[in-house]
Amino acid sequence: MKRVSIKDVAREAGVSISTVSRVLNNSAPVSDDLKEKVENAIKKLDYMPSNIAKSLRKGKTGTIGFIIPDITNPFFANIVRGAEDYLRQRDYTLILCNSDQDEKQEVKLLETLISKHIDGLLFTGTGNFNPVLAEKIERGFNVVFLDRIIQGISASYVIVNNSKGMYELLDYLTVTGHKEFVFINGNKETFSAKIRYETFKKVMGEKKLKFTHFYTNFSYEAGYNFGKKMKKMPDAIVCGNDLIAYGVIDALEDRGFKIPEDVSVTGFDDIPFSKHYKPPLTTVRQPMYEMGMKAAELLVKIIEEKQINTEGIILEPQLVIRGSTRRG
């Protein structure tokens, strides 16, 4: 596809390229006469400015990178949607990358994105310290951490108050008479998994409740496998996210257990399907769309205002009580 450039337009209109540039960007007054000529030429040639030349010139691409574990997980899909909606409206464009939580992949993607001159990065990675990323941030690379913070790196972030969510969940569960717990958590390295476990353990200790805890990973299969081989039933099974809860419920039902009569099961996230699951899932809602949107908003702010001090946004979770838990 032969591209038509500003030069072609200038020639067609019989003016200089700077004049074309001026009418294009309204960056300086141009006589009506020439302006019209230029506009006609643009239409005639179906000219479209090259953003990449513009980027080279201005040192800004209007492109944001987003590294997430897996777009196939509705939790991330909804976050991405929130981010993209905001960015689109602000005339930014989103490069999406799936990392599968692989650290090597994360680094590689980061480098690719940087060499593509992204203006900023939305990052949801493993929680492990990433020296490459840390160094870039040190040098002024714009990053907003989303849902998952990395300890030891000082940067802006948008997260949910996981601790509070867990508190409210356990509060409800204990009030409704649950006394013995199993916590099937997600990936061990993950920031949110860690926080939730900390809070969980603390509450268990305070209320002197019996519990066991396991790290697995944030997937349906992990929950299903666990549910298949569980021996003794506790009063409640707390799951690291909704997908795990789905798996546990299905496995348990396959084995003839009734949810919530035999055991209560809870999730975390409240992805759209949880409302319609059978039984509908008691879970802690994370404002996914809003997380994505806020993070994008924060990132754009950082980019455009070049503010140096980092900012953290903590969103509120919300306990959603549905049919997968006994009411006492």
Partner DNA sequence: CTGTTAGCGCGTTCAT
Partner DNA sequence: ATGAACGCGCTAACAG
- Dihedral sign, Cα of residue 170, residue 176, residue 182, residue 183: negative
Of these, 1, 11, 12, 25, which contacts DNA (CB under 7 A)?
25
**Cα–Cα distance, 47 to 52 (Å, whole number):** 15
- Residue 1 contact among DNA, a second copy, none, beta carbon within 5 to 8 Å by kind: a second copy
Exposed, middle or buried by CB within 10 Å (0-12, 13-18, 19+), for 137? Answer: buried
- Residue 15 contact among a second copy, DNA, none, beta carbon within 5 to 8 Å by kind: DNA
Short-list 274, 271, 270, CA closest to 285 = 270
Q: Is 314 in the site for a second copy (CB under 8 A)?
A: no
- Residue 258 contact among DNA, a second copy, none, beta carbon within 5 to 8 Å by kind: none
Of these, 36, 44, 53, 272, which contacts DNA (CB under 7 A)?
53
Q: Is 74 in the site for a second copy (CB under 8 A)?
A: yes
Q: Is 48 in the site for a second copy (CB under 8 A)?
A: yes
What are residue 313's DSSP bridge partners?
158
Exposed, middle or buried by CB within 10 Å (0-12, 13-18, 19+), for 306? Answer: exposed
Pick the closer one to a second copy by CB: 77 or 184. 77
Short-list 228, 248, 274, 251, CA closest to 183 = 248
In the numeric block, which tokens belong to residue 84? 């993209």
| Phi-psi region at 157: left, alpha or beta (left = phi > 0; alpha = psi -120 to 50) | beta
Find the shortest distance in angstroms from Cβ 177 to a second copy: 26
Could you tell me which stretch among 108-116, 153-161, 191-199, 209-217 binds a second copy (CB under 8 A)? 108-116
Could you tell me which stretch among 42-50, 153-161, 187-195, 310-318 binds a second copy (CB under 8 A)? 42-50
Contact between 250 and 277 under an 8 Å Cβ cutoff? The reply is no
Cis peptide leading into residue 260 (ω within 30°): yes
Q: Which of residues 114-133 bind a second copy (CB under 8 A)?
A: 114-117
Pick the closer one to DNA by CB: 25 or 154. 25
The residue behind tokens 């990178």 is 65
Pick the closer one to a second copy by CB: 34 or 132. 132
Binding site for DNA (CB under 7 A): 3, 5-7, 14-19, 21-22, 24-25, 27-31, 33-35, 49-50, 53-54, 56-59
